[in-house]
């Protein structure tokens, strides 16, 4: 079955620093690469996604980069703020497929 | 206007009891899911339904039985609750033709005592 790994499992940064979380997957047919953010006590919500015909996508302080050959994609957060503190999940899948497998999550703590 | 809603938000019950969690989505999605999130925050898929049909049934004990009366609803019934069932259960939905973005309900925190 599909194997999804996230690294690191925890990440602690100072406010203003950058944070990078990597997601590695095994299903070579994956063509949709989203990142979800889950704040404490809240539901997971999509924050950015990318499809396999694009190598990078940026939305203000967050970006996702994709290396399809190596089967990994990364979430980049620049100028981190305390409100970025949350658990982040990747969920690589096939577009329109009825199965979302999430990585184990990365707990990001941004210290003022 | 709530997109995916599940009830109840909190559920405290004794071992051995039977309980249900309800989920409804008003997004017109054709696929609904149940996920279990344990204390380590791992989101594990339990079931996936597409147009009321069971698509995915991961290795979940038979005590868990999903029911989808129509495309907009997916309920979860749990028999003979055990301590290890304590977790947060999330319902989610997506639409096959609109990619795979999942919209989650608020979660149900189940505590078995």
pLDDT (tens digit, 9 = 90+) per residue, B77-102? 999 999 999 999 999 999 877 667 89
Report CB contact under 8 Å: B45, A100: yes
Burial call A3-24: b when 16+ CB within 10 Å, e when fewer: ebebeeeebebeeeeebbbbbb
User: Is residue A82 classed exposed, middle or buried when 0-12, 13-18 and 19+ CB atoms within 10 A define those classes?
Assistant: exposed
B48, B56, B100 ranked by CB distance to A96: nearest: B100
Cβ-Cβ contacts under 8 Å for A96 (sequence gap 6 or more): B96, B97, B99, B100
Coil, strand or helix: which one is A9?
coil
B31, B45, B107 ranked by CB distance to A101: nearest: B45
Residues of B in contact with A100 (CB under 8 A): 33, 45, 92, 94, 100, 102
Spatial separation of the C-alpha atoms in residues A48 and A64, rounded to whole Å:
7
Q: How confident is the model at residue A97 (pLDDT cuts 50, 70, 90)?
A: confident
Q: How confident is the model at residue A110 (pLDDT cuts 50, 70, 90)?
A: very high
What confidence score (pLDDT) does residue B98 get? 66
Could you give the C-alpha distances from B87 to A21, A36, B107, in angstroms and in order? 26, 20, 10
Mean pLDDT of A43-59: 92
Whether the ω angle into residue B102 lies within 30 degrees of 0, i.e. cis, is: no
Residues of A in contact with B41 (CB under 8 A): 38, 87, 105, 107
For chain B positions 4-43, those within 8 Å of chain A (CB to CB) are 31, 33, 35, 40-43
Which of the residues A1, A49, A100 would you substitute to probe the B interface, choosing the one with the greatest number of B C-beta atoms within 10 Å? A100
Type and span of the H or E element at B30: none
What confidence score (pLDDT) does residue A5 get? 95
Mean residue pLDDT across chain B: 92
What confidence score (pLDDT) does residue A1 get? 52
Mean pLDDT of B20-49: 93
Residue B110 has pLDDT above 70, yes or no: yes
What confidence score (pLDDT) does residue B53 get? 83
Spatial separation of the C-alpha atoms in residues B109 and B14, rounded to whole Å:
14
Task: Calculate how close chain A gets to B111, using CA atoms only, in Å.
Answer: 15
Residue A80 has pLDDT above 90, yes or no: yes
Lookup: tokens for B58: 């991961």
């Amino acid at each position: 079955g599909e194997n999804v790994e996230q690294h690191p499992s925890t990440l602690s940064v100072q406010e203003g620093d950058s944070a990078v979380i990597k997601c590695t997957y095994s299903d070579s047919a994956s063509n949709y690469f989203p990142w979800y953010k889950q704040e404490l006590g809240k539901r997971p919500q999509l924050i950015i996604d990318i499809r396999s015909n694009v190598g990078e996508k940026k939305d203000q302080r967050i970006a996702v980069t994709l290396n399809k050959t190596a089967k990994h994609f990364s979430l980049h957060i620049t100028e981190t703020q305390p409100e970025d503190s949350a658990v982040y999940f990747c969920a690589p899948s096939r577009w329109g497929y009825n199965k979302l497998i999430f990585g184990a999550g990365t707990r990001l703590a941004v210290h003022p | 206007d709530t997109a995916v809603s599940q009830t109840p938000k909190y559920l405290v019950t004794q071992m051995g009891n039977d309980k249900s969690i309800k989920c409804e989505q008003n997004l017109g999605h054709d696929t609904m899911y149940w996920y279990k999130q344990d204390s380590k925050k791992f989101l594990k898929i339990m079931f996936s339904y597409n147009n009321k049909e069971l698509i995915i049934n991961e290795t979940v004990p038979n005590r868990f039985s999903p029911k989808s009366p129509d495309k907009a609803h997916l309920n979860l019934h749990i028999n003979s609750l055990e301590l290890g069932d304590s977790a947060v259960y999330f319902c989610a939905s997506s639409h096959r033709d609109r990619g795979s973005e999942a919209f989650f309900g608020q979660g149900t925190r189940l505590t078995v005592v």
